[in-house]
Structure 1
C-alpha cells in the first residue's frame, strides 16, 4: 500500500467539542492514530508526470493507466511496510472510537473491517488537509468514510443547528443507500437520546429545494452536487455549515466524469465562506474516494485540498482493477444479432436455477424496456409466469418511487434478473449477485470494471460474461492494456436454432414493428457514439443491427423507417450503405453522405446511456448541467432542475393471447 503525504511526519488535528471535552482524551487519540499508521517513513519528492498526445483513440485509452500512475504524485510519497490489524474493538481500546459508537458499530454487525476500512479509517480520523483513497468497488468504502463521518458528528452532537459531516455523491440512489447504512448504525446506539440527535438527511433531486427547518438541522447531510449547490444559495442553509468538521467525496471520478466539476468548486467556495464567516478555520477535514485516480481527480484534489494531501492506494501495484474473485468470460459471436439472441438464451436457461441472481447491462433505456418485455413474453409463452415475475428493470427514466421499489425488491430477492443501463453500474450494493451480463463495449473501459463490480462483493465470488461480435473485439485489447483485464474463459458462440426460432416467433407475434425499430435505432445511436473511441467499423455494426431488426420482425428484406434528421444526427454512413438498411423518402440517392454535424453532436466523451430520446434525438447537455440530478428525477419535472422526459408506463392489452404496447407518448 502507498501513502503520500507532504513532509516527513504525520500530523493530526486536535478536534474540539468532544463529548468528553478533555484535552487528555484528545491527545490519547492523536497518539493512538500515530501508532496505528506508520512505523517507518521514507520521504520522496513529488514528481509530476505527463503523457504524450497520441493520435490513435485506442492509444489514448491505453495511455490512461500511465496517466493515472503519473498523476498521483501531487502529494508526497511515503511507503508503509504493514498496516496493523485494525478492528472496531482496537479503535475503541486505542481511544479513537467513542464507546457508544463502538457499541453501535458492533451491534449493527460490523465486528471486523475490510482491507480498505483497515487502511483508511485511521488516516481519515486524523487528516488535517485531505485524504485521497483509490479503492475498488465492493470493498467496503461506505463504512470507510461512514464511521469517521459518524465520529465527527457524535463528537459535536450537542452543537445546535449545525451540520458536522457532509457526504457528496453522484447519484440519488447512492445517496439513499449511504443513508440507510449510516442509519443502521445510528439505530444501534444504546442510548436512544443519541439516536434522536444523531440525524442523517439527504438533499437530492426529487425533494424540496431547501428542506432544512429552523428547528431541525441534521448532523450529517448526504447530497448530490446539483441540489447541494442550489440549496447553498439559501443563506439559512449555508449558515448551517459554518461549523462543518468533515467532508467526503464519494465516487469522485464519476462526479467529475459526468460534468459536476463547476458545481463542486462552487460548493467548496461556499463551504469555506460559511466557516470563515463565523471566524472558524475553513480547513475542515476532507476525504475523497475514487475507483480510478487519473489527471482530473488529481487536479481536483490539488485545487480543493492543496498539495499536502495524503494518498492511499488500496489496490496492489501489479493487481488489475477488476476484483480477483470475479471469473470473467468472453463469448465471441459472428454478429450483434447473435450476441443479443445469445445473451437471451443464456438468461432464459440460467434464470430457471434457484441460485441465479444476475444483472444484465444494456446500452440504452429503450433496449432495457424492450428486452424486459421480450423476456416476459417468452416465459409467458412457456407458461412459466413465476419466472416473468422474477425479472425487474431499472433505468434513469423511471420515477424515483419506482426505482426505490425495484432496488428494494432486488436487494431482498434470493434469485432473479435485473435489466438495467449503466445507472446501476456504480454505488448500488445488491446482495449475493452471482452473475453480471454485458453486451457490446461499455461507454468507457472504466464502466466495464464498475459493472462487473456488482458481483463478488463482501468476499464472495462471482461471474461475469461479455458478448462481443467480431467487429467489437478491439475492445478486448483495450481492456487488457488499459485495465489489466484477463478473460479466464473465451468461447465461440454456437447458435441454438430452436431458441432462435422461438424468439423470432414471439417477437413477431407479440410486438409491433415500431417497437423493434425503436430498440434497434437506439442501439445504432449508441454504436455511432462509441465507434471512434474503439475504432469500430461502424457500417458493419449498423448492418448487423439491421439484420437483428429483420430477425425480430420476421422479414428478411425489411427496411428501418427513419427521417432525414435521424440519419444526419446519429449516423455516419455512405449512401450505398444507408440504402440497404433505411427507408427514407429520398432513398439516399441524391446526397453524398449523411455525416454532417455528426462530429459536433457526438464528440462528448461524457456520453451517458440514459440520454436517448426515442433514438431520434441526442439530449445534449453542457458540462455544468446537473445531469444526474435531472435525468434521475422524473418527479421533479417541469422545474429548472426537472427531467424533461416523461416516465415510461408500459401497459399491455391481452388480445388473442398476445401482448402489445399501448403507449406511444414515451420519449424513449
Structure 2
C-alpha cells in the first residue's frame, strides 16, 4: 500500500490542476470552492487514475467532494448515463439515514451541469420502501445507501449490484463496527470481483487497518489529521453534575451563539434537557432515533436554516449533520467511544472554518475524558466558569459510576446488540 504523508504535501492551488472536466470546474466555481482541501488534492488524482484508496481525514475536511467529484468525472466521460434496469454503477455505503441524504444531495449538486444528467438515488430505512423501489426501476449511476435498506431492496429484486464499477465506504470505521459487519458481508458477496474500492473515514482503528490490508490491493493510503484539527478550538469545563444544565443555559445565553449543537448520550437525557432548558428560557429541539424519519428531517432542516438555534442530539447526529459554519458543539455528556468524540466535534470547524467544541464534565466523567484524550492524542486544560465551579471533591449526590464500553449503534434491537459478528476478511480479500 502506497502511503502519502500529508504533513510534507503542498496544497494544490486549484481544482483545474486536478484535471476535472469543465462542467465540474464551473459548478465548483459557482459553489465558491476556491482551493482543494488536503484530502481532495491527494484523493482526486488517485481516484481518477483508477486506484483503490484508503483515506483518513477528520470529518469536515471535504471528504465527500474528494470522492464525489472524480466519480462524477469518470461517469460523465463515459459520454452517457449507463444506468439501466435496476442496475447500479457506483455504490456508496453510509451508516446513517441523514448521511445518505447528505451525500446524495452533494452528488446531485456537484453534477448539476453534466449533460445528460446522471441519475443519483438514495435509499435508507425509516421511510416507505415502495417509493425507493419505484425510483430504482431505471437503475442509478450513483446509489447512496444504508446497508439494511439496500439488502431489503435487493431481496425484493429492486436493485442489482453485479455491474458496480466503484464501491465507496464512507465513515468506514462505523461501517465496519458492531451492527454493520454482517450486512456488509452479505453486500460484498453480491459485488463483482473487479471494481475500484474507496474507504473514507475520520478514524481507522487497528481492526479496520487489518481488514483493509486484505481488501485493498495496490491501494493509495492518505492520512490527513493534524492540519485539519487546527480549525477547531477545544475547551473543557469542570462542573458539579447537578449544575451542568444551568451552566449550559448560561453559556448559550451569555454568548448569544446563533447555532449550538448539544450532544447527550441517551434519548431520555435529550428529552429532559430540552424541558429544563425551556424553563431556563432557552428554546431547543431534539434529534434522536425515537423520532420518525419525517420528524428528524423537519428538525434538521429547521436547524440548518437557522430557525432553530439549539439542537440537542444523540450520536446519530455525529456523522449525519453537515451545516456550514456551525460555530459551536457542546458535549453535555461524553460519548462512550473516544472515536465518537472526534466525530462530534467535527460537526463544527468544517472545511477549514473556525469552530468551538466545549465539553462539560462532572466528577464521574473525569477518568473517561482522560481516556478520550489518550486515544485521540490530545491534552486539554481543565477550566471553570465563575459561579459554576466544580467542588474539589465529588458531591455526595454525584453518581460514582464508570462509563461503560461503547454500545451498539443507537436504535438497534436486542437481538443485534447481542450479536457481534466478525467481518469476513477472506470474502473481502476475494473481492
Query: Any residues of structure 2 matched to 1:337-352 within 5 Å, and which?
Result: 337-350=242-255
Q: Note closer, same or farther for the CA distance 1:259–1:607 as it changes in structure 2 (3 Å cut).
A: closer
Count of aligned pairs: 413
Q: Note closer, same or farther for the CA distance 1:466–1:84 as it changes in structure 2 (3 Å cut).
A: closer
Q: Note closer, same or farther for the CA distance 1:414–1:450 as it changes in structure 2 (3 Å cut).
A: same
- Pairing partner for 2:97 from 172, 176, 187: 172
**2:221 is equivalent to residue 300 of structure 1:** no
Q: 1:456 & 1:345 partners in 2: Cα distance? A: 23
Query: Any residues of structure 2 matched to 1:248-267 within 5 Å, and which?
Result: 248-267=168-187
Q: Note closer, same or farther for the CA distance 1:402–1:414 as it changes in structure 2 (3 Å cut).
A: closer
Q: 1:604 & 1:477 partners in 2: Cα distance? A: 14
Match of 2:232 in 1: 326
Match of 2:426 in 1: none
RMSD over aligned CA atoms reads 3.2
**2:25 is equivalent to residue 102 of structure 1:** yes
Match of 1:494 in 2: 387
Q: Note closer, same or farther for the CA distance 1:78–1:339 as it changes in structure 2 (3 Å cut).
A: closer
Q: Note closer, same or farther for the CA distance 1:467–1:458 as it changes in structure 2 (3 Å cut).
A: same
Contact 1:212 1:237 in 2 (8 A): no
Q: Note closer, same or farther for the CA distance 1:542–1:230 as it changes in structure 2 (3 Å cut).
A: farther
Match of 1:315 in 2: 225
- Pairing partner for 1:445 from 334, 338, 349: 338
Structure possessing the higher relative contact order (Cα contacts under 8 Å, 6 or more residues apart): 2
Deviation at 1:104, TM superposition (A): 3.3
Match of 1:89 in 2: 16
| Deviations 1:88-139, CA, capped at 9 Å, x for gaps | 2223xxxx433333333333443431121111111122234x2100101110
The structure with the largest alpha-carbon Rg is 1
SS state at 2:140 partner: coil
Contact 2:260 2:327 in 1 (8 A): yes
Q: Structure 1: where are the runs of 5+ without partners?
A: 6-76, 273-281, 380-386, 497-536, 547-570, 573-601, 626-668
Contact 2:179 2:409 in 1 (8 A): no
| Deviations 1:611-631, CA, capped at 9 Å, x for gaps | 79xxxx999453469xxxxxx
Contact 2:139 2:159 in 1 (8 A): no
- Pairing partner for 2:138 from 200, 216, 227: 216
Match of 2:317 in 1: 424
Q: 2:382 & 2:308 partners in 1: Cα distance? A: 24
Q: Note closer, same or farther for the CA distance 1:493–1:483 as it changes in structure 2 (3 Å cut).
A: farther
Q: Note closer, same or farther for the CA distance 1:481–1:314 as it changes in structure 2 (3 Å cut).
A: same
Q: 1:134 & 1:257 partners in 2: Cα distance? A: 16
Deviation at 1:84, TM superposition (A): 6.3
Contact 1:83 1:119 in 2 (8 A): no
Match of 1:368 in 2: 270
Match of 1:399 in 2: 292
Contact 1:248 1:287 in 2 (8 A): yes
Deviation at 1:214, TM superposition (A): 7.6
Deviation at 1:328, TM superposition (A): 1.7
Contact 1:440 1:469 in 2 (8 A): no
Q: Note closer, same or farther for the CA distance 1:255–1:121 as it changes in structure 2 (3 Å cut).
A: same
Deviation at 1:299, TM superposition (A): 2.7
- Pairing partner for 1:136 from 58, 80, 104: 58
- Pairing partner for 2:191 from 250, 263, 271: 271
**2:26 is equivalent to residue 118 of structure 1:** no
Contact 2:83 2:89 in 1 (8 A): no
Match of 2:150 in 1: 228
Contact 1:364 1:610 in 2 (8 A): no
Contact 2:287 2:313 in 1 (8 A): yes
SS state at 2:280 partner: helix
Q: Note closer, same or farther for the CA distance 1:78–1:394 as it changes in structure 2 (3 Å cut).
A: closer
Q: Note closer, same or farther for the CA distance 1:325–1:83 as it changes in structure 2 (3 Å cut).
A: closer
Q: Note closer, same or farther for the CA distance 1:325–1:175 as it changes in structure 2 (3 Å cut).
A: same
Query: Any residues of structure 2 matched to 1:486-635 within 5 Å, and which?
Result: 486-487=379-380, 490-491=383-384, 494-495=387-388, 543-544=397-398, 605-608=406-409, 620-623=417-420
Contact 1:169 1:223 in 2 (8 A): yes
**2:272 is equivalent to residue 471 of structure 1:** no
Deviation at 1:289, TM superposition (A): 0.5
